[in-house]
Each structure stands twice: as C-alpha cells, then as structure tokens.
Chains A and B, each alone.
Chain A
Amino acid sequence: MEAVMERQREKPHVSEPRIDARERAMGLAKYTADWQVKDMLYARIFTSTVPHGFVKGIDSSEAAKTPGFVDIVSCLDDSTVWQAGEREHERRVFADHVRFVGDCIGAVTATTRIAARKAASLVGVQYEELPASFTIESTLGNSQLKIWDNGNFLGPLKFEYGDSEEEFSKSQVVLERHYSTSRLHNVPLEPAISIAWWDGDNLTVVAATQSVHGCRNGIAKDLGLEPEKVRVIGYYKGGGFGNKINSMNYDLIAAICSRRTGKPVMVEYSREDEFINVHGRWSTDQDLRMAADRAGKINAVEVKAKCDIGAYTRHIKRGHFIEGPEHYYSTEAWNAEIYGVYTNTPATGHMRAPPGPQSAFSVESMVDELAHELGIDPVDMRLKNFIRNPPSGRFTSNGFEECIIKGAEEFGWKQRWKRPEKQRNKSGIATGVGVAIGSWHSGLGHGEAIVSVDSSGTLEVNTGVVDIGTGAKTTMALIASGEVGIPYADTRVIWGDTETSPYSVGESGSRTTGFTGTAVREASRQLKADLLLIGEKLHGISSSKLEIKEGNLIRSGNGSVLSSVRELMQASGNGRITKSVTTEPTLKEGEERFVFAAHFAEVAVDLETGEVKLTDYLAYHDSGEIVNRLTAESQVQGGIVMGIGMALTEKLLISKTDGSIENPSLLLYRIPNMTQIPKIKVFFTDTVDPYGPKSLGEIPIIPVTAAIGNAIFNATGVRLRNLPFSREELLGELKDRK
C-alpha cells in the first residue's frame, strides 16, 4: 500500500471533453425524438385503470371516430411476450392479466401525436377485478392474492459464510436495527421513445437503448426473427441509468404497430408515462444484526430483508435485491436472507447499481452506530474492518485503504470530526460530518472492436457502444489514440448501429470501458505494430527502435521525426489498415475484481425546522486506471447527485387505495437541484490493475445516503433509519431529546 501511495503518477491524467460535446451543446446531436421519418405514424399506449384484474373486453368504437385514427392493437389480438420484461415469469407486451394501474393493455396508432393521445383516451376497457396488494405486508398476509400463479414473492436468497450463530454468541457487542428505503425512479432526462419500420421482413428500430446489440437480440427473440433481420440504431441518448436496458416494451410496440399499419411508427412516452410505465428502484425493509468485539472488530453481520419489487422486476435475479456490503468488510461470518415481494404497483428493475445503495445504506449506517456505541472514530472503525481480500482468494487490485486514508486526509476528517455531543451549533444550525465506504464488482468479459487508420492518417474506432451519457465514445477514442499514438483530434468514432458496428456489451453494469475498451486497446496495439513494421521497411530501422507519437513515426531515444503516419500509409500502398479484434479476458483461479470508494459529507441541520443542507462532499475512488479524468469525474458527481436525491428528496408515493403512483411528475417527484448540491470533490487512486481500467459508473451512488445520514447523526445525535430522511422525523427526534 505504501508503495502505491508514494509512487508518482507516470503520466498526468488525460482530461478531454466529450468527443461530441460540440454537437450536443449546439443542438446538432440527433436524438430519437428528432428523427423525421417519411409517412411516420404515432402510437400511444392505453393502460389499466384497475390495480389487478383480467381484461374482458375492449371497446374501440369511440376511439375509432377520432380524426386521424389508424389502428388499435391490444392484448385481445396480440400476445407477444416481452422476455426482458420479467425474468421469473412471462410478461406480455399487452397484458390481458393486468397487475398494476398503468399496466399496458394496447396501443392506438394515428396520424398525429395529438390524435393518438385523444383516441387512446377514448378506448373503453372492461375488467374482471381481482384482489390486489400494495404493500409487502398485505402481499405476504393475503392467501387469496394471486399476482403470479406460482407465488407472490421471490426468494429467499440465502448468502452465507462462516458460523454466524457462533460469532453472535461470543461477541461482546450486538446491535439490532431496522432500516428502510423508498421506491425511486431513474428519471433520465430523455423519456422512453422508439421508432420502427419494416422493409419486407427486415425490421429497423431507432431506439433509445443502452445497448444496440442487446436491444436487437431482445427484439429478435421476442418477435421470432433472426437477429440479422433486425437493425437497431441508437446514436444520442438522454440517459437511462438502467431503465433503457436491452430491449424495451416500447421498442416492441413500435415494431408491432408498424407491422400492422405498414408505416413507420413512433412510440413516445410523456414524463408521466415514463414514471408509470418504465421501471424504477425497489424499496427495502431491512432488519440487521451486527456483532463486534470491544476493540471494534466486526465479527458477523446478519441481514434479513424484504423488498417491494412491484408487479414485475425486469431481469433481476431471484433474491438479488440486497447485495454488495458482504464485499466491504472482512467479517468472520455473513448471513443474509432476502425476499423480493410482488405488489400491484408499477414495475421495478435496474437502476444504477440496482441493489447497491439500498444495501449500503443499512450496513454503512449500522457500522457508524456500532462505532458510536464503542466510542471509536468512524474512519478508524472502517480502517479496522475494511476488506483486504475476499473470503476465498484475492483481489486483482485493492485501493480501498488508500481511498479511506487519503479521503479522510483531503477532507480534513481529523480536524472536522468531533463526537456528536461535542459538535457546536451556531444560531440554531448544527453541522456535522459523516463517512461511508463501498465496493462494487468490476467484471471482465467479451469485447469487440475494429480499429483502423486511413491514408490521411485518421484513426477510426468502430465499436457498438451507444454512449448513454457515460462518455463511452470519448473513452474508446482516447484508448485508441493513446495506444496507437495518433492525436485524439485526428480520431473518429463509429458507433451506435448494429449494421455498421461490432458487438458491444450494454452500457449497464459498469462494463463498457472494461469489456469493449479491452478490445479497442488490443486492436490498437496490433495496428500500431503494423505501422511500425511499415516504418521499419521504409527507413531500414528495426521496429523495436521506432515509436509513434502525435501522429508521427519517431526514432526511440533521440525522438527525431522520420515520417508522419500519413506518409507511412502512403508508402505502404494501403488505403486503410484495419484490425478487427475480439477479446475474452478471464480472471485467474481465485481472483476477484472490485472497485472501492470512501465518501465524506458535511451537513448543516436547522434545529428549528429539521431541514438538512448538504454543505460539503468528497469522494475518493479506486477504479484502477482512469482513461479520461473529466468524464470519470462527471460520472462520480452524477452518481453522487442521484444519491443525494435518494437521501434527501426522492420518493415515489404509492397510493394506498390503488397502488398507483401519486407523484408521476418532476413537480412532485423531487430530484435534487443545483442549490442542494455542494461542490463535489473527486479523487482517484493510482491503483494499477493487471486487467486495465476497472468499473466506475455505478459505485458512486453506493455510499452516499449513509455518508449523509452519518453526518446528520454527527451533527445532531439523531439517527435516521428511513430514506429519504425526513425533516419532520428529525425534528421530532430532536424534541424528544430535549
């Protein structure tokens, strides 16, 4: 560790604005909603008005009278299954068994958006209503209820190591607490949208997807087509954070409506539709027990959780609704038992580190409670317990300790942290600081890339990324440019179209830089080797004594320029040299690959109103090599902002009477705005991982809520255990204390 910390960075961080920053800022970037396709029609979904029931009849006579009406399709005449919509059960695109208010029953196609909307509002649906449940308790307590025929919950998922009974009985201190987190929504800036058209039996879809290839494969499977018959285009995106993952039901709806009408069809969701019809984050009810000895060594953790996963839960694996903290600490034993419980409420599914922040909230709050109980500084508590190696095996790299130590140093933890009772408050405002840590997986996997250079010396990187907002295009260009030695400015990227680009894993699970980036690097290496060989021939100097820098072939050692890459290409007689590469890196036996972070927050609490203001925030991350400092920093800040929302402002309000969402608008569902966000300082360790850059997109949201909650405790002595933190609850607790 010392060695890592002392070592100077070999090269300063690259920090480049996004390769398409100009297009985006100037409004030239063409998003799906900007596509104008000739003769395009507009489809509008109509949805269930009851929480649970069977569709018995559909009356479209009024709808059909609307000027501009073209077609109506529903569960009565289309039974396509959306396989990516629910892993454990069959979920139809148009439900005949509706499971929540808003479940999609059908779609109306019309010549204008307005006509489609009006016509859809006039469709009459008859239901046979069924008993429904809107909470975990009522689902588990109602034997009449049949949200799904084979049971209304998933799990338990049991995750265990060590002998936790034994550890609990022999530990000196045992804490037992309940924590809860709320249902949330991803709220990407761009609501769901898709355009589809058919050319014979070839389908083209312009999709707002996080993965053009995943989307293509999903659509092909669901519609019974060969993947080669489906082309998916996805250039510019307004974010997804997991809710544009793979193929979406609106892609299928566009394709179905287009096939029926013979015209291109656009399906476009409003913000309200987006809240109701696209999934968000599940809520959790967690009972935790933690055992430690007096010196602060955590011996065992027990987590029992039930999660409200709505009526559907996309592709989340059975019981994987609480996950992550078993990789923060070296405990002797861990014992988890997790259930996902269905309710007649809108769907849940992937949202930035799907189970990550819910799980970190409870564990990282509890570690803080334990530290307080034992009179130990919360940073020291983490240093005593953080994971150095997984229970069986070793990490490929581990900068956890550096994150905690250096983060605390940069934040000034030692000067700022005092025991809660010693924190001063000035004119009714109490300030305090908090820390929380986290880790997240960083897999390796299949990558494909085509990297080429043409006779003008321009470097071209072709990958199937979509750039959901992560800066993937920029990252791929930087990797290639750095590897080959051709300037970033002379690098172009081809992306976002299954017809022109090779496979790339979806931009989800923090995988793109690792998976596809590895292929780009390998292809670039091979390309460079070819260029050096051309140089060797041309100049009669061994390629081992040659290098390419800034687009020029230079002689190693004295650095004299021999020729430009363009001249090399012309001498070679090739119009273009292309390297097409597939990489499949795998971990060695016993290896595990993780990223790590430590976050530090400061809050100011108004003791008269209970309002919490976040006044300072610092994040220290180990994500291995950072390809582009600027976009990496933005990723971290973006994740933290989402975490701030989860901690302080965001909550889907679910109706107690019909399970519908009561706040499906940005007016009522409150994402944090700039006045609630302090300057967020971001640092990265210099950790070197043998497999290259590690993951980054998801981990930043993980420690945030606990860091803020711990700071509130430090400021006031009040421990809040329910998210989002409520000013009212805080004020109530403060008064009880007086």
Chain B
Amino acid sequence: MILEPFQYFSPLSLDEAFEILTEHHGEAKIIAGGQSLIPLMKMGVEMPCIVDIKKIHELKTIELSNDGSGKVSSVRVGALATYNEIERSVPVRRNIPLLAKTASGIGHPLVRNRGTIGGSLSHCDPAADLCATALALDAQICITGPGMKTRVLSARDFFKGPLETDLHNDEILTSVFFPVSNMKMGYDVQKLTLGHGDFPVFIVSVSLHYDGVKFTNAAIALGGVGETAVRASECESLMRGKESITGEDIREVSRLITDRYDPPVSAELSPDYTREMLSVYTGKALRNAVQMVTG
C-alpha cells in the first residue's frame, strides 16, 4: 500500500515531459514500467511527483540504424521497450541475440510485460540483468534533456554506483544503441538466484566474436560483484585474439574471476558456496558461448 499522496503527470511528448521535470525540479521522478519504483513507494520511499513517460510513443521503437554508408551498424532500442518486446523483437533476435536471451530470463512474465530497458539501466541495480548485458555488448546510451539537448555515453561511463547513474534529474534516457557485428557470435548469460524469478545474486554475461580464424572480441560482464556491473577486462584479454578457447582456458578464467571479484553475501547461501558458484556459472557461460562458435 502506498501511504503518501503524490502528484501524477502523464505527458504525451518529450517536450511536455521536460516542461514538467523543469517545473518540479528536484521533486519529480520518472516512472516507466514501475517495477522498481512502485515497490520502493510501497516500502515507504516518498515520491511527491511522478512523471509517467509511458505515453511518449517515440520512446517505444526498436529499429535498425545505419551508419553513413547505409550499412546496418546498430540496433536502437527505445527506452520504453519492455523486456517482453525486446525478447520478441526480430531485429534484436537476429542481430543481438544475447540481449534477447537476457531479456527473456528477467524475473517472470509479469515483470517482463512491464519492466523497460530504460528503467532497468536508469535504476542501475548492480545485479540487474540488463546492466551486465549492456556492458558486455558495449551499448551506447542516449540521454536527452531540456531543450532536447542530447548526449551519448557508453554504458561503462553511464553506470556510476549502486542505484546511481550519470543522469541528471531533469534528463530522460531515450534510447540505447547496440552495435551490430557481422562476425560469428557466441554468447550466454548465467545467473545465480535464490529462487526462480528472483533478482540475481550475481550474473555473468558473455559475448564472443569469431572471424573464422580467431576470437576477435571477448567480453565478460559481471553483475552483482561490485558497485555497478563491471567488465572483467583482465580475463577478456586472456581470450581475445586466440584461435581456440580450451576447457583449460575456461577453467583459468573462471578461477581468476573468483579470485578477483567478491560475490555478495546473501542470507540463504554461504559465502563459500556463492564464491564457488561464480566460477561455476562463469564456466558454464563461457563453455556455452564457445560451443556456439566452434560447435
């Protein structure tokens, strides 16, 4: 039950939204899917002014976007695209299947029907599924402010800390660009949860590119092991440029990851188990990703 009254606005355009955000500067809070905000309000966090952006239709689009030469260079996912829409989107499935796979595993159907990519990234929970995958996929985040001033940031620069991003409170995250590669892709996402549909304790998101001879890119993003989702760069460099990634390589990377990163403590699992699982799930994700490439 939400005990405190609040003002509610439902702008139809970005212009209108910025007007409201400016007028209620500091007080106004954007709501998208409400899957994080409403639970917070129910827990008693006061939100005196809510700006519901769901009626701003231009924020819903998912489309391919071209570079200057007309070649598809990225997929632009509107901030309001829900997990369910992302999971079903043909451009996403075809070009950035890791994003579709990640979206399909978030929470359960009720959450996936409402939760949005913009909300998840703006909320910036260190263990959120999409934060890890956005990092693994080198996503570019597009932010618009009053006067339609727009800036683009890499996911890495966007995430600042637990529940903290580079967004100012009169800005809106409008879309997320995911670069498309024409190379062979191997990917997987694995997470430890306390129960099905629960927020991850930690999450491992892996993306590999293979040009037929060697792995040109290897990205491992981890969620839940630090202040924000992080890239395990020191492990990535062990794989990048290799012609093959062996079981021994995978074991080494998994070991390295448990040495370097601290999974969080949860009430129900011992630290030892959680730590061991970080290496087990990293191993699973890497094995599956490598197998997709070398099959």
Binding site for B on A (CB under 8 A): 113-114, 117-118, 270, 608-609, 649, 653, 662, 667, 670, 673, 675-676, 728, 731
Contacts and interface: CB of A to CB of B under 8 A. Distances in A.
Contacts of A114: 1, 3
B277 A670 contact: no
Given A117-B1, A670-B195, A728 B269 contact: yes
17 contacts: A113-B1, A117-B1, A117-B3, A118-B3, A270-B1, A608-B280, A609-B277, A609-B280, A609-B281, A653-B267, A653-B268, A667-B198, A670-B195, A675-B196, A728-B269, A728-B270, A731-B273
Contacts of B267: 653, 662
A123 to B, nearest CB: 16
Interface string B244-268: 0000000000000000000000011
Contacts of B269: 728
Nearest to B281: A609
A518 to B, nearest CB: 43
A652 B163 CA distance: 29
Size category of the binding interface on chain B:
10 to 19
Contacts, number: 32
B161 interface: no
A280 to B, nearest CB: 18
B285 to A, nearest CB: 12
B3 A673 contact: no
A731 B270 CA distance: 12
A676 B198 CA distance: 13
B194 interface: yes
B197 interface: yes
B108 interface: yes
B115 to A, nearest CB: 15
B60 interface: no
**Lowest 9 A-B CB distances belong to which pairs?**
A670-B195, A728-B273, A608-B280, A675-B196, A114-B3, A673-B196, A609-B280, A676-B196, A649-B195
Given A114-B3, A118-B3, A608 B195 contact: no
Nearest to A732: B273
A282 to B, nearest CB: 21
B12 to A, nearest CB: 30
B194 A673 contact: no
A113 B3 CA distance: 9
Interface in B258-295: 267-270, 273, 276-277, 280-281, 283-284
A731 B269 CA distance: 12
Contacts of B270: 728
Given A662-B267, A673-B197, 8 more contacts: A270-B1, A608-B280, A649-B195, A653-B268, A667-B198, A670-B195, A675-B197, A728-B273
Nearest to A114: B3
Contacts of A670: 194-195, 198
A653 B267 CA distance: 9
Nearest to B277: A609
Contacts of A118: 3
Nearest to B39: A667
Interface string B182-200: 0000000000001111100
A117 B198 CA distance: 29
A222 B34 CA distance: 45
B276 to A, nearest CB: 8
Nearest to B284: A608
Contacts of B198: 667, 670
A193 to B, nearest CB: 14
A608 B281 CA distance: 9
Contacts of A662: 267
Contacts of A608: 280, 283-284
A693 B108 CA distance: 40
A118 B284 CA distance: 49
B84 to A, nearest CB: 16
Nearest to A673: B196
A609 B268 CA distance: 15
A118 B5 CA distance: 13
B35 to A, nearest CB: 12
B21 to A, nearest CB: 28
Contacts of A731: 273, 276
A198 to B, nearest CB: 28
Nearest to B276: A731
A627 B224 CA distance: 53
Contacts of B284: 608
A663 to B, nearest CB: 8
